[in-house]
Amino acid sequence: MKKYVLGCAALLVLLVLITGLAGCNSYNNVVGLSQEVDKQWAQVQNVYQRRADLVPNLVNTVSGAANFEKSTLTEITQARASVGQVKLNSAEAPTDPADLQKFQEAQGRLSSALSRLLVVVERYPDLKANSNFLSLQAQLEGTENRITVERQKFNEVVQTYNTSIKQIPTLFIARLAGYSPKPYFAAKEGAATPPKVEFNFGNPAK
């Protein structure tokens, strides 16, 4: 009888150890995936910040053109300011979909304003021959492409993280540790194609 009790106790201890190890492994996995999401969020913010940093030089360059449409410059300046007013935790990816939506909407307004600016520039031959403007245009085009890439990568790591914390047994560990699903960047119609910021100098703007 004593041996039976000892055997049961040993089996129970073994089960507890196995469960504990599995729980630790699940927790460590969630932590790692969460860190990947935060790291990719930092990349997204970096490329958006790079674009925002280009705006003042772009505005200064085009504002030097005679009779350039001031309303367009005002719109761009205001859109850039609205981006800075969206306050998010820069170290961690947002967990509230509403916060990410506000961020995305502010960035979308700046994208639209930049697109309109670059269409208006078509009416100013001097600007299209300005080497400083051409350099800024090339940098902006590259940045827009990077934004698309980094957002896609962000959605991919978020998907991996969200899938993991919804699977058993990780589901229970994640809930106990306070980990919750993170929102995705929502795709808009035509979002698969980055805004066109290149110029076709041989043809008039459509």
Q: Can you tell me which residue has the tokens 């670059």?
A: 118
For the stretch 42-68, pLDDT in tens is 999 999 999 999 999 999 888 877 678
> Count of domains in the chain?
1
- Give the pair of three-digit tokens for residue 102: 């506000």
Neighbours of 87 (CB within 10 A): 9
Determine if residue 67 is left, alpha or beta; phi over 0 gives left, psi from -120 to 50 gives alpha, anything else beta.
left
Residue 145 belongs to a domain: yes
> Is 144 or 176 the better-scoring residue by pLDDT?
144
Neighbours of 74 (CB within 10 A): 12
Please give the residue range of the domain that contains residue 75: 2-177
Q: Note the pLDDT of residue 159.
A: 95
Q: Can you tell me which residue has the tokens 């053109």?
A: 65
Q: Note the pLDDT of residue 198.
A: 45
The CA distances from residue 91 to 42, 48, 84, 153, 200, in Å, are 7, 15, 16, 17, 40
Residue 132 belongs to a domain: yes
Taking the model in full, what pTM does it have?
0.78
Q: Note the pLDDT of residue 171.
A: 87
Residue 202 belongs to a domain: no
Residue 199 belongs to a domain: no
Residue 38 belongs to a domain: yes
For the stretch 131-155, pLDDT in tens is 999 999 999 999 999 999 999 999 9
Residue 203 belongs to a domain: no
Mean pLDDT score, 161-171: 90
Residue 67 belongs to a domain: yes
The pLDDT > 90 percentage for the chain reads: 48
Residue 10: which CATH number? 1.20.1440.20
Residue 17 belongs to a domain: yes
Q: Note the pLDDT of residue 174.
A: 87
